[in-house]
Chains A and B, each alone.
Chain A
Amino acid sequence: MFDGMLLGLETAFTLQNMLFAALGCFIGTIIGMLPGLGPMSVVAIMIPVSLQIGDPSTTLILLAGVYYGAIFGGSTSSILINAPGEAAVVATAFDGYPMAQKGQAGKALTIAAISSFSGGTIGVVLLMFFAPALANFAILFWSAEYFALVLVGLSAISAFAGKGKVLKALMMTLLGLMLATVGESSLFHAPRFTLGIMDLQSGINFVTLAMGLFAVPEAFFLAIDKIRGKKGSSKKSQEISNLRINLKEAKAIMPVIARQSVQGFLIGVMPGTGATIASFLGYAVERNLASPEEREEFGKGSIKGLAAPETANNAASTGSFVPLLTLGIPGSGTTAVLLGAFIALNLQPGPQLMQDRPEVFWSIIMSMYFGNIVLLVLNLPLVPYIARLLSIPRSFLIPFVLFFAMAGAYIGQNNATELLLLLGFGVLAIIFRFADYPLPPLLIGFVLGQMFEDNLGRAMRNANGIQFIWERPMTLTLIISAAIFILVPLIRDWLTNKRK
């Protein structure tokens, strides 16, 4: 293994490969910031260009850089304009956006950069030493365990349980699960709730829903609000450039980063789960572990609430390379696109890759160290400038977000129905905001809905019933964990109210 690492170091740390890793990170960050374009689209855009390079190691180093650059870029648009272009960064907006609204955009972006760097780097260390062993662990996960894991991810709605909101949050989650049933299931071919519209057979596009729920209402509230419309959302420009995290804050987020790096990585290792569940779960776990005062801050600009999903999604992105590199199984949509790049380069990822092409296997892993450092070095100095996006008047920023979202939605499915859906979800979101319903649970339900149904269906089919719940210890443990995540905050609130 150490020979392989040395070979990887030798290959990855040539001037050419370092430059391409840096270029990949830069391109990924810039394009990832644009609303409507997630890491999968960015990597797909870059594949034809990168194949021109010729050298497989360099090509894959560039694409890996684009991947984690895009994840970081996506967090930026979540934090600054509440427009998550990818499911994995939805939870980042829960606390990142309120921080930006309070004039702490600089600090939020710094925390995001540090958390991403830490999650990514710790993930690479784990990837380097435990990849083959973890690959064997990952294939022990069957549909039953995946179903239970999704259930744990859904327990993130416990974050909305405070102040009697749990029922409304549950209603929104169930509506999200319902929307995820639109179109054909992967288990059978029968179109559901498509209203006879062919374009709905493939289901609802995530970007359309996310932009409809967040960007359209934002445009509406800006249009009707005479005060906010006239200026940028953040009034305190000196606070935008204030990036410093004090010692107390650093101490507060350090254990969060440590926990979520490991947890996020382990979740990322499971094929098909990836960064989305990792980020939601990271958020839910940290909220449960926080003190009562800190818990009150979650959802209103908590630094722990921001650090948790940011660390977890980056660690999970690194973790998703485990099944790809060691088993040849893509762990997420983006790694499925990367698998295409491997095949185009005449490489077959899997157990043989480490033996037949060790320089490729190890150089990708080693380049990730460099890529993570590049991301930090590249982004930290740029934070004050990126944060200044907030001082751009909203009347310019909103059309930018709206039209990118609309073009992204249109291109995604290549039909105008997406634009009508975008609008429909926008109207729905405005009504929900007036009626005081939380929108993030709807998105959580939608994102995890299809995975939930598919795995529950498969598990029940395999076991011919629901006995898999108690027959498989791992499934039972995960379901109990989900129940604890949901019940603990409820019981805690109930006890607090009783004492009052």
Chain B
Amino acid sequence: MSKLKTNHIVETLIWLTIIAVFFVYSFEFDQEIEIYIFGATGWPRVILGFLLLVTMGNFLHLYKKGSEVQKGRVGITDQEENITYDSLDSIWKLIAILSLPLIFAWSLKPVGFYSATPIFIALTILLLGEKRIKWVLGITLFIYLLLIVLFMVILNAPLPQGNISPFYDFSAFMLTLNTNLHQSLNF
């Protein structure tokens, strides 16, 4: 008798969609390559073929045995499996936690790394449940300083400076500080 549940069908359909999307997209770069007889699409399509086979195998396995035998996960303890959460609140938090890095990435060009980073660190800490403002500010400053020392002072990495005043001015100030520091240390 079938032990198939709706979520098993949905799961399989999602995998099949992934395979189909990759396969269709592979025609975009389907070209012969003189030095490589398999062409640009050869290897990806072989993987997709295997993926299709294994997906169908998994579906068959779910059909016969269900997902009961698939419990347990490498790298995760049983203690960690039991996460307690409130579903409505979780959706809100999921949106918030995923939006923050998205807005951070978007803000790098206009606002710049130097100004955007402390704001987003503080927001992340607040989102993760810390309400004590002194702690939020202290930890934000600590992480920010570590990032600046490593990426600006030691690595001299070209971090985005922003293009809107006063953020751009602040970035320029930070870079001047860095230059002066390097000169004084003869670094």
Interface residues of chain A, those whose CB is within 8 Å of chain B, are 31, 34, 37, 45, 82, 93-95, 97-98, 101-102, 159-160, 162-165, 167-168, 170-171, 174-175, 177-178, 181, 185, 187-188, 190-193, 216, 219-230, 298-301, 393-396, 398-400, 402-404, 406-407, 410-411, 414, 416, 419-420, 422-423, 426-427, 430, 435-436, 438-440, 453, 456-457, 460-461
Contacts and interface: CB of A to CB of B under 8 A. Distances in A.
B125 interface: yes
A305 to B, nearest CB: 9
A333 to B, nearest CB: 17
Nearest to B129: A229
Contacts of A98: 75-77
B29 A163 contact: no
Closest 10 pairs (CB-CB, A-B): A299-B74, A419-B105, A395-B128, A164-B69, A190-B40, A224-B90, A224-B85, A167-B58, A399-B124, A101-B77
A436 B104 CA distance: 30
Contacts of B70: 163-165, 168, 436
B105 A420 contact: yes
Contact of A299 (B11, B75, B109): B75
B155 A411 contact: yes
B117 to A, nearest CB: 7
Nearest to B127: A223
A428 to B, nearest CB: 10
Contacts of B71: 163, 436
Given A187-B35, A423-B98, A439-B75, 9 more contacts: A164-B61, A219-B97, A225-B83, A226-B86, A298-B74, A399-B143, A403-B120, A411-B157, A420-B105
18 contacts: A37-B150, A171-B15, A174-B47, A175-B51, A190-B29, A192-B29, A193-B22, A219-B124, A223-B129, A299-B75, A300-B74, A396-B139, A406-B104, A410-B159, A411-B151, A427-B98, A430-B94, A440-B74
Nearest to B102: A423
Contact of A181 (B43, B57, B109): B43
Nearest to B147: A407
A284 to B, nearest CB: 12
A436 B71 CA distance: 8
Interface string B77-117: 11110011110011001101110011011101100010001
B133 to A, nearest CB: 13
A299 B72 CA distance: 9
Interface residues of B, number: 82
Contacts of B58: 167-168, 171
Contacts of B86: 224, 226
A68 to B, nearest CB: 20
Given A229-B128, A402-B124, A423-B98, A192 B75 contact: no
A77 to B, nearest CB: 14
Contacts of A190: 29, 31, 33, 40
A147 to B, nearest CB: 12
B24 to A, nearest CB: 11
A191 B55 contact: no
Interface in B125-139: 125, 127-130, 135, 139
B172 interface: no
Given A174-B47, A403-B143, A411-B151, A82 B75 contact: yes
A274 B48 CA distance: 28
Contacts, number: 212
Nearest to A298: B74
B111 to A, nearest CB: 12
Interface string B136-180: 000100010011001100110111100000000000000000000
A160 B151 CA distance: 38
Nearest to B108: A416
Contacts of A223: 93-94, 96-97, 127-129
Interface in B23-39: 25-26, 29, 31, 33, 35-38
B54 interface: yes
B67 interface: yes
A299 B120 CA distance: 34
Contact of B51 (A178, A228, A299): A178
Contacts of B154: 45
B79 A102 contact: yes
Contact of A438 (B36, B73, B121, B147): B73
B83 A453 contact: no
Contact of B117 (A31, A301, A403): A403
B36 A178 contact: no
A416 B77 CA distance: 34
A456 B18 CA distance: 25
B79 A188 contact: no
B137 to A, nearest CB: 12
Contacts of A414: 158
Contact of B125 (A165, A228, A396): A396
A299 B51 CA distance: 25
Contacts of B160: 416
Contacts of A411: 151, 155, 157, 159
Nearest to A423: B101
A436 B73 contact: yes
A199 B90 CA distance: 33
A395 B125 contact: yes
A214 B103 CA distance: 21
A402 B83 contact: no
A94 B86 CA distance: 29
Contacts of A427: 98
A223 B100 CA distance: 13
Contacts of A181: 43-44, 47
Nearest to A416: B105
Nearest to A431: B14
B40 A224 contact: no
A399 B61 contact: no
A460 B43 CA distance: 12
A396 B150 CA distance: 19
Contacts of B75: 82, 93-95, 97-98, 299, 438-440
A439 B125 CA distance: 26
A6 to B, nearest CB: 38
